[in-house]
Amino acid sequence: MDSQIERLHFLLIPLLAQSHIIPLTDFAKLLARRGVFVSIITTPRNATRYESIINLAKTANLKIQLIPLKFPGQEFGLPEGCENMDTLTSIALVKPFLDACKKLEKPLENLIEEMEPKPNCIISTNALPWTQELAQKCGIPSYIFQTVSCFTVFCSRVLSDSKVQERVNSDSDSFLVPNIPHKIEFTKSQLPENERKKSSDDTKGVIEHMEKVQKLARGTLINSFEELEPWYVEESKKITKNLWCIGPVSLCNKELAEKLNRGDNKSSIDEHNCLKWLDSMKPRSVIYACFGSLCRISPHQLKEIGLGLESSNRPFIWIIRELDISSELEKWLEDEKLEERIIRSRRGLIIRGWAPQVLILSHPSIGGFLTHCGWNSTLEGICAGVPMITWPMFSEQFYNEKFILNVVRIGVRIGAEATVKIGEEMNRMVKREMIKEAINEVMDEGIEGMERRKRAEELREMAKNAIEEKEEEGGSSYLNIIPLLAQGHMIPMIDMARIFAGHGVHVTLVITP
Ligand code: UDP
């Protein structure tokens, strides 16, 4: 089998956003560890940000390369250097950014034609339907890499079919997602914008196009694991062909250097100081507060976060995104002496810019994660075995909040009520008292708090087992990569049967006499 796999060349195409590039790069490493040669399409600026992690993979003898294509952003009015969604300064730039991504189609087609060896398979993240059409045109099998959970995909499908949300009177009236085993209650204002509207001819056209494109793909890979959401995985399999959970992919990062460089070429802190500070804290005592790579938080809200974290009287690490740093905020931090106080008392760290999230979360001192509920962050919290304080902001993040609170039951909600648009600042304040209360609840050592923590720790073990790499007793996600490699007879059926049988699966081969 090994020599068969070593002849495979997979082409990976992520949307140019951290929440797509990061997990697809992790998945590239998982594929390369199985012997596959992997090429990842990117752009020059993103290549610079990711080259250290790729170089590290190469030193571990993994066959991975980044292929930068010139990004035509300026043709669409984007500022120079704006090649990743985390550099978009306003919501108005999202459309030109996606248009510029689509313009990569022709250069990519030319590249594929000239590629040696020719790709056997194309895997692209869910927001790039044109890549599936391109794969079809080039005659290459393709797969969708889904960056959200089965729970989200399935519930959003149920809502789109049942249209219960169209029957409520106002945006703040709640309704239940029908026909699922958990009690999941939404208001319309918590749904992503495209799911709130009544279906019109316009939206129907877009949905039909997406469904058509989905059918071009041979299958869908989900960054999740079967044991995490078994009912939703099973139901999703009934409505999506070849659906395989292959995550949590972040667990491929085992060494300190891998966890440190993930998502950017350099972290904005000295990791040794950060780790030294974490080492000096009691186990499970520190709150880690980080809100992903896209949301904008106003200076006013940031001040409340700072004061809320401080008033919790717990040690904390607070990440402030580069785009949110303003002279107003810096002046306030200085006048208020918040940073000075927490540094002097060794109570906390403020990190400006990019943080090594997986490295920090995996430290034994982290006891709670204040998160915006992006799916990657949610999974990373699960992998770290920490309870979460949920503060969803936009997109499918309210789905993830409900998953954390009502399905796996490892979180406490902060009380956010409605989504905002990507890149837009929040208009409803979350007050410092709400932050303090939620932190106290998640860190509570009473029966409820301890049970929540126990569940989180059990999930961490399940996640680890799912991705377990040993050939003879691999976990569910490890095994799920085999049919992907075998699809299109890339691995002979007989070898596949042998591998499955080795894992205790009863296999029947149907052949002619
Ligand atoms: N991330 C990080 N450092 C930061 C901010 C984010 O490493 O300072 C990573 C985080 O670990 C996750 C990704 O960026 O893998 C964010 O993806 P997610 O789906 O959580 O949220 P989004 O950025 O799309 O809002």
Does residue 218 line the site of ligand 1, with CB under 6 A? no
Of residues 204 and 328, more confidence is placed in: 328
Does residue 357 line the site of ligand 1, with CB under 6 A? yes
Percentage of the chain lying above the pLDDT 90 cut: 78
Pocket test for ligand 1, best of 15, 18, 145, 251 (most atoms within 8 A of CB): 18
In this structure, the residue with its CA closest to atom 21 of ligand 1 is 374
Does residue 297 line the site of ligand 1, with CB under 6 A? no
1 CA distance to ligand 1 middle (Å): 36
293 CA distance to ligand 1 middle (Å): 5
181 CA distance to ligand 1 middle (Å): 30
In our burial notation (b when 16+ CB lie closer than 10 A, e otherwise), range 294-313 reads bbbbbbebbbbbbbbbbebe
Q: Exposed, middle or buried by CB within 10 Å (0-12, 13-18, 19+), for 106?
A: exposed
Does residue 293 line the site of ligand 1, with CB under 6 A? yes
DSSP 8-state assignment for residue 317: E
Ligand 1 nearest atom to the CA of residue 380, by list position: 11
- pLDDT bucket at 266, cuts 50 / 70 / 90: low
pTM: 0.94
Tell me which residue has tokens 């580069």.
Answer: 322
Instruction: Say yes or no to pLDDT of 471 above 70.
Output: no
Ligand 1 nearest atom to the CA of residue 147, by list position: 19
Does residue 19 line the site of ligand 1, with CB under 6 A? yes
In this prediction, the answer to ipTM > 0.90 reads yes
Q: Is 417 left (phi over 0), alpha (psi -120 to 50) or beta?
A: alpha
Q: What is the pLDDT of residue 133?
A: 94
DSSP annotation string for 208-236: HHHHHHHHHSSEEEESS-TTTSHHHHHHH
423 CA distance to ligand 1 middle (Å): 15
Q: What is the pLDDT of residue 491?
A: 59
Contact at 8 Å (CB) between 330 and 306? no
Q: How many helical (H) and strand (E) elements, i.e. helices and strands, does the chain have? A: 22, 15
Quick one: average pLDDT of 7-13? Answer: 94
Q: What is the pLDDT of residue 422?
A: 61
Q: What is the pLDDT of residue 200?
A: 61
Q: What is the pLDDT of residue 199?
A: 62
Contact at 8 Å (CB) between 460 and 384? yes
49 CA distance to ligand 1 middle (Å): 14
Contact at 8 Å (CB) between 287 and 313? no
Pocket test for ligand 1, best of 274, 293, 370, 421 (most atoms within 8 A of CB): 293
Does residue 18 line the site of ligand 1, with CB under 6 A? yes
Q: What is the pLDDT of residue 426?
A: 60
Ligand 1 nearest atom to the CA of residue 354, by list position: 8
- Residue range 185-228, pLDDT digits in tens: 999 999 988 888 766 655 666 667 777 787 899 999 999 999 99
Of the listed ranges 3-17, 188-202, 248-262, 281-295, the least confidently predicted one is 188-202
Ligand 1 nearest atom to the CA of residue 357, by list position: 7
Instruction: Say yes or no to pLDDT of 475 above 90.
Output: yes
- Residue range 63-91, pLDDT digits in tens: 999 999 999 999 999 999 999 999 998 88
261 CA distance to ligand 1 middle (Å): 13
Instruction: For 257-309, list the strands marked E by DSSP.
Output: 286-290
In this structure, the residue with its CA closest to atom 11 of ligand 1 is 357
What gap in Å lies between CA 393 and CA 295, rounded to an integer? 7
260 CA distance to ligand 1 middle (Å): 13
- Residue range 394-446, pLDDT digits in tens: 899 999 999 999 999 999 999 998 888 665 556 678 999 999 999 999 999 99
What gap in Å lies between CA 404 and CA 394, rounded to an integer? 16
Does residue 377 line the site of ligand 1, with CB under 6 A? yes
Q: What is the pLDDT of residue 96?
A: 96
Q: What is the pLDDT of residue 510?
A: 73
Pocket test for ligand 1, best of 224, 376, 403 (most atoms within 8 A of CB): 376
Comparing CA positions, the residue from 265, 359, 276, 284 lying closest to residue 319 is 359
Pocket test for ligand 1, best of 147, 268, 377, 424 (most atoms within 8 A of CB): 377
Structure tokens that stand for 326 in this block: 């303003």
Q: What is the pLDDT of residue 7?
A: 83
Q: How far is CA 245 from CA 86, 279, 294, 509, in A?
A: 27, 34, 25, 24
Does residue 395 line the site of ligand 1, with CB under 6 A? no
Does residue 288 line the site of ligand 1, with CB under 6 A? no
In this structure, the residue with its CA closest to atom 10 of ligand 1 is 377
- Residue range 141-196, pLDDT digits in tens: 999 999 999 999 999 999 999 999 999 989 999 999 999 999 999 999 999 888 88
Structure tokens that stand for 261 in this block: 């460089």
